[in-house]
Amino acid sequence: MINEKEEQITVTTYNWGPCVIKLNIKDDFKKILVDEAKKNELDFSSRLAGQIRKETGYSEKSREKIIPYLSPYLGVYDECFQRYQNKKFEKKPEYVLSALWCNFQRQHEFNPPHDHDGKLSFVIYLSIPDKLKEENKAYKGKSSGPGGIQFMYGEGIRDCITYMSYFPKEGDMFIFPAWLKHWVCPYKSDCVRVSVSGNVHDSAPFNQIKKGSLVDEKTEEEVYLEELKTKL
């Protein structure tokens, strides 16, 4: 585990398998995530793996506003990934923020083991209630405990690290490969924990897909709304 500072962004790299990093986001990034979340009412709960009642998606317009705030953190991930792999990119990656949604996790709700679409995924923790912090602090098990996040890679082999668990703090951001299995533990406290998750695609392959017959140059939200209309 390596702690570094790059352009005043504190980053922790976890050396255990795939490249996973933890950062602490700045207040301006947190503010725009909260402000734009208030403007979006698109229900994402039926599209995601979790057993969480309220998950709302950010519109394409909101995502465009957020990208400039997100890009420096993706840049930090790229730098960490190159050092982790001990090789340089031939070409600087160009990313598309293909999906972004806000999770309002409540008592007994959880996310089962799952992965995401795209190249990279991330989660940002906006609000961790005191009740949940106290419950997790009292937990005596070996996992991340109530409200924690766990990543799993490979098989359970003796003397090999195959999973990583962490109880987040407000402002924490994890960036990781989209294919990496992870899950969110439930908790008993009567409170709401708020986080924002997103998927990032390589721009070239993603743009080729958008121009094809799969989505016919429509945004994810437009496709989803059309699907809803057919069910009404």
Q: What is the mean pLDDT of residues 216-224?
A: 45
- DSSP at 117: S
pLDDT band for position 157 (cuts 50, 70, 90): low
Q: What is the mean pLDDT of residues 117-134?
A: 94
pLDDT digits (tens, 9 = 90+) for 106-125: 888 887 888 898 999 999 99
Gyration radius of the chain's alpha carbons: 18
CB-CB neighbours of 5 under 10 Å: 8
Torsion region of 124: left, alpha or beta (phi above 0 gives left; psi -120 to 50 gives alpha): beta
Cβ proximity of 195 and 100 under 8 Å? no
- Is residue 204 within a helix (H) or strand (E), and if so which, with residue range? helix 203-211
Amino acid 144: pLDDT: 83
Could you tell me the maximum CA-CA distance found in the chain, to the nearest angstrom? 54
pLDDT digits (tens, 9 = 90+) for 4-14: 444 567 888 87
pLDDT above 90 (res 230)? no
CA 69/CA 84 separation, integer angstroms: 24
Superfamily designation of domain 2-203: q2cbj1_9rhob like domain (2.60.120.620)
Please tell me the least confidently modeled range out of 9-18, 58-67, 128-137: 9-18
- DSSP at 45: G
Q: What is the mean pLDDT of residues 169-196?
A: 93
Q: Which of 170, 169, 171, 151 is nearest to 161 (CA)?
A: 151
Q: Kindly report the pTM of this predicted structure.
A: 0.79
Domain ranges of the chain: 2-203
The SS3 assignment for 102 reads: strand
**In the predicted model, what is the mean pLDDT of the chain?**
80
Percent of the chain whose pLDDT exceeds 70: 75
pLDDT above 60 (res 142)? yes
pLDDT above 80 (res 174)? yes
CA 52/CA 50 separation, integer angstroms: 5
